[in-house]
Chain A
């Protein structure tokens, strides 16, 4: 005879063998992996966009239109001096001829440029601080000294980059939502199947006076558990894949996007795991209460 003081361990009320938990966790894991990968891509793309935008907004290029060679050096010196006076918080340097010629190569190819080709002199401005440039004031100051110059603060590129970044973010977000909807659909289907499979148990629970909310909670906790493990597996796999790609990008010059990982991504992955779990639990709650209510009306 058993020791009367021995209390048997508590057992789950729903039969764990009847709902293909492993297979469902695996499917949810794959879904969560894709969603977490989209999330990491979105975060990384956002970081990349900001970094590029920051580089663009903190720099500008001045094109000096110098017609005669005689005044060339003095005009350059004069322009540099004016710019340095007007922008003491910036690094202002003339771009060497070979560097400015190199900028034309993508358009002209590997041809020798003739020396008398009237190319503008380029001056690069790199601001040390987040400082907004007054392009018109700089152009006016240069013009007052007889220098014809054109300033480009890269806003055209920056705006284009911002639009592209927004599009990439929107697409990644849409993919993430689509995948989360797939997770909700799977959980709804699984809860449906589980309620059918555990019908006898529900009948006994109803017989001993269990409220619908009590029965629904059993399915919610089951779905939340599956969702949590699926999300955890998916998030870890996505993290490993992201690390693998980043290392590969660093060690080999392969055609991969210049993505990165940051510590904050870990926080977002935790939020993702919690959110994914919550979505699964919510889907199970809605499905279970709806079915129990329908069953009750049928009775």
Chain B
């Protein structure tokens, strides 16, 4: 992989390493490029570092060393405001969903738009339509604790995509849903990708990977390997 910056790259890792406190490196010298509008699966066994790599992408962790560029900006040079503005451009679906308990499904999904300062009247229709699309139209006013695991997952996905992010990062997004809903969600990701969103999904689900034409990266023994496609150079 070339070390020169690629203007069209949404995510660039250059010799990135990560360690927690004084522990061993979770991974080292990882090089990664996700081009604008690409669709990538990240796979690997449990504990291989998939979630850690995703956290570096959505700015929850900082690398122990190496360089990370997001949207052509070096994250180590970003101030807090710039980091938060960058996060506006990233939709994240986590394994633990992180829905806010005292907010209804509607409010949880509308959260990124509300934080961005949009008026309620402007986004209500979009939120309602998206909830119907993910099959939660009838649970808009339900509280998260009354939802099943699959419903919570769909609400989390709806929240991640509602602001039409430039980069969508999902950690096991179909882990708690049945295959039909899983495929429907994958179609949603695919549709977003078709509209220009760069998608990075960490998953164990090989059937998911078969359903869609995408680059596949495997993280193994602290290094990143390309399984197919041209994204990886490690």
Contacts and interface: CB of A to CB of B under 8 A. Distances in A.
Interface of A: 1-2, 4, 7-8, 10-11, 13, 15-17, 200-201, 203-212, 214, 296, 299
Interface residues of B, number: 38
Contacts of B101: 15
Given A8-B107, A10-B120, A207 B137 contact: no
8 contacts: A2-B137, A13-B114, A17-B102, A206-B84, A207-B92, A209-B89, A210-B115, A212-B80
Interface in B53-107: 58, 60, 62, 80-81, 84-90, 92, 98-104, 106-107
B138 A209 contact: no
B132 A4 contact: yes
Given A16-B102, A211-B80, 13 more contacts: A4-B132, A4-B137, A7-B128, A8-B107, A8-B140, A10-B107, A15-B101, A206-B84, A207-B92, A209-B88, A209-B90, A210-B115, A214-B115
B159 interface: yes
B141 interface: yes
Contact of B98 (A203, A212, A214): A203
Given A1-B137, A208-B112, A8 B80 contact: no
Interface of B: 58, 60, 62, 80-81, 84-90, 92, 98-104, 106-107, 111-112, 114-116, 120, 124, 128-129, 132, 137-138, 140-141, 159, 163
Nearest to B123: A7
A209 B102 contact: no
Nearest to B140: A2
A205 B137 contact: no
Contact of B87 (A11, A207, A296): A207
A86 B141 CA distance: 87
Contact of B84 (A10, A11, A16, A209): A209
A83 B171 CA distance: 101
A212 B129 CA distance: 30
B19 to A, nearest CB: 16
Contact of A2 (B107, B116, B141, B163): B141
A201 B101 CA distance: 9
Main secondary structure of the interface of B (DSSP, over half): helix
The 6 closest A-B pairs by CB, nearest first: A209-B88, A209-B87, A1-B138, A208-B112, A15-B102, A210-B115
Contact of B104 (A11, A16, A296): A11
Contacts of A207: 58, 60, 87, 92, 98
Nearest to B159: A208
B128 A4 contact: yes
A210 B112 CA distance: 8
A204 B102 CA distance: 13
A1 B85 CA distance: 36
A7 B114 CA distance: 14
Contacts of A10: 107, 120
Contacts of B99: 204
Contacts of B163: 208
A204 B97 CA distance: 10
B103 A13 contact: yes
A8 B104 contact: yes
Nearest to B91: A208
A6 to B, nearest CB: 8
Nearest to A10: B120
A2 to B, nearest CB: 5
Given A2-B141, A15-B101, A208 B106 contact: no
A15 B108 CA distance: 13
Nearest to B103: A11
A204 B100 CA distance: 8
A204 B111 contact: yes
B98 A11 contact: no
A195 to B, nearest CB: 15
B102 A11 contact: yes
A207 B90 CA distance: 9
Contacts of B132: 4
Contacts of A1: 137-138
A252 to B, nearest CB: 53
Contacts of A7: 120, 124, 128
B104 to A, nearest CB: 6
A143 B45 CA distance: 116
B53 to A, nearest CB: 17
B115 A205 contact: yes
Contacts of B92: 207
